[in-house]
Amino acid sequence: MPESTTLDRSVMKFRVTIGQRVLAALVFLSFLALSFSIVTTNRSSIAESKSLTSAEAPAASIIFTQRETLVYTVRLAQWIDMQIPRRDVQIARALLAQRLSVINDDGKSVGQEAPSAYLQALYVLDSLIDQSPSGILTPVERTNLLKVINPEMETLIDQARLLVTSYQLAVDNQLTHSAKASRNGDFFTLVLLILFMTLAVSWLGWVARTSIQQYRRSRNLVIAESERLQILAAELAAANLVVVELESLNASKNEFISNISHELRTPLTSIIGYVDVLATTIDFGGNPQLEEIFEVLDRNATILLSLVQSLLALSLLDSPNKRDTFKKIDLLEVLRDAIFIMDAEIQKKNITVTFNYDENDCYQISGDAGLLSQATINLIANAIKFTAAGTTIEIFVGRKPGKSLRDHITVAIADHGIGIPEDEMSMLFERFYRASNAVEEHIPGTGLGLAIVAKVVDFHDAKLSIESKLGEGTTFTIEFLEYLSPVEELVAGRKYGLLSEAIASIEEQSPESLKDKLHEYGGALAFYEFPELGEKLLALSRSIPEGFTGENVELMNQRDLLIKDMKAALPSEDEGEIDG
């Protein structure tokens, strides 16, 4: 089973290696870096867009400035051509000045950005205009002015053109810078993206490969386990066949021993009978040798008969018995019969047998009368054998209340013999085993008596125990389950059912109605053979005041202790069986 549990875990649990965890961390970090880079790039793009947008405003101003400059030069030309008065030129110049002073989003005016040559040309023209007479020029004035004004006008127009060119250059530079910054940002983001993708794909690939490997390994393990199970199943089937064969052989052996024992017992009984007849009818005529021969013959025949009977009993116990032979047995009767049977031996050794039991009690169990008789005879015979002549054998029958529906009936047979060495106790019930001190003392025996006893005890689901002290004696104790009629079992069941019900009810009861419940179940339990518990319940009920709401902790603790006692009185899980 542990192997299969390990296999299940290995199949079900996905294991991630340290390397995969490290790689997963790298994937996560690269993802964070990529996200950060994307956010930063976007922010840069927004900033660049704003920057480019702000660059558009000067563009409008520059275009207007160029326009105003052209308007101004046109007015100048018209003035030189004597078409308009000087004031119109001055107004056009004033409007150009207004345009040059307009402050853009960058906080600067076009005038501040204008080339110095442009402004210089303007101021030269201003000077020429100021020095000229107001109104419309005369032809002479025109001729004089024309020579000096034309170059300045050309300079102004050229410089106005440069305004746009320089602005275009500035914007181009800004665009180039933006493109460069954007390209750098994009390149970095791309590198991070490639890194992230590479790491992620590597990680996924690694994990997938590991998963496939684990799956294959698990599948192989499952296949191997399956094959192993098939082999085990085959071995089990073979073993079952062997078991069946062995059981068959054992049954044959038992049958053989049973038959042989039967066949041997009949002539042996006859031989023993005739030996007895001869021993009592023949006059040995003072031939002690012949008398001894008869005694040896009688003793060995008796031993042989005992051995045959023991073998017969064991073969019967080994066979698949059925307990339908069980019936109600009075143990006192069985023991009295056994004592009676062994009476000759008891008398022979001048042994006193004390038989103790409660005359008012009834010791009934469910069992096989023959087997029980055999077991008790064996135990009493052993006690007689190992007890010194003139001493006492004590037989005790009693009742032990068990934690079950039924009581235990105990039979103890104690001798004051040689005792059993402690290290041999465990082997005492093996067939043909004899205690070393018994062999040394030349105490006869077949080594089958206690084996039969153990078998009989086991057959009755009883418990056999030994207490022994070398040189002081041995006590064999058998603990049987008491016999109960179906009606008695029903009553016992009801008894414990009521107890369980009382526990559950008192446990769940609210403090307000605890007094009544304790009174109710106290009376009932006292009636159903739990007088002590019943009395305790009634006493607690009496001590609880009317209108109790659980505020008295002491009373509630008493209730808990009582519930504990009630639970302790319930039968254990192994109800109906004897430990051991």
Binding site for another protein (CB under 8 A): 67-68, 71, 87, 90-98, 100-103, 109, 111, 119, 122-123, 126-127, 129-130
State the Cα angle at 417 between 416 and 418, rounded to 5°: 135
Pick 123 or 284: Cβ nearer another protein:
123
Closest approach of Cβ 26 to another protein, in Å? 51
CB 72 → another protein: shortest distance, Å? 8
* Least CB distance to another protein at residue 89 (A): 10
Q: Within 13 Å of residue 62, how many CA atoms lie on the same side as its CB?
A: 23
SS3 397: strand
Strand partners, 464: 478
Closer CB to another protein, 75 or 455, in the complex: 75
CB of 112 to another protein, least distance (A): 9
Residue type, position 100, single letter? L
Residue reference for tokens 């070393």: 436
Helix-helix angle 511-527:531-543, to 10 degrees: 150
3-class SS of residue 405: coil
Which residue lies nearer to another protein by CB, 7 or 59?
A: 59
Q: Considering beta carbons, is residue 99 or 455 the nearer one to another protein?
A: 99
Q: Pick the closer one to another protein by CB: 113 or 415.
A: 113
Q: Least distance (Å) from another protein to the CB of residue 102?
A: 4
Q: Which is nearer to another protein, 163 or 506 (CB)?
A: 163
Pairwise CA distance, residues 257 & 198, whole Å: 84
Q: With respect to another protein, which residue has the nearer C-beta, 102 or 307? A: 102
Q: Which is nearer to another protein, 7 or 91 (CB)?
A: 91
CB of 63 to another protein, least distance (A): 12
Which residues pair with residue 392 across a beta bridge? Answer: 352
* Cβ-based neighbours of 489, under 8 Å, separated by 6 or more: 405
Give the nearer residue to another protein in terms of CB position, either 91 or 171: 91
CB of 30 to another protein, least distance (A): 45
Q: How far apart are the C-alpha atoms of 111 and 114, rounded to whole Å?
A: 5
Q: How many CB atoms lie within 10 A of CB 465?
A: 13
End-to-end Cα distance, the chain = 27
Nearest CA to 456 out of 395, 368, 519, 525 is that of 368
Q: Which of 352, 353, 312 is nearest to 335 (CA)?
A: 353
Contact 103, 109 (CB under 8 A): yes
State the DSSP string of 28-40: HHHHHHHHHHHHH
Kindly state the smallest distance separating residue 55's Cβ from another protein, in Å.
17
Smallest distance, Å, CB 48 to another protein?
23
Which residue, chain included where needed, has tokens 């947008």? 53
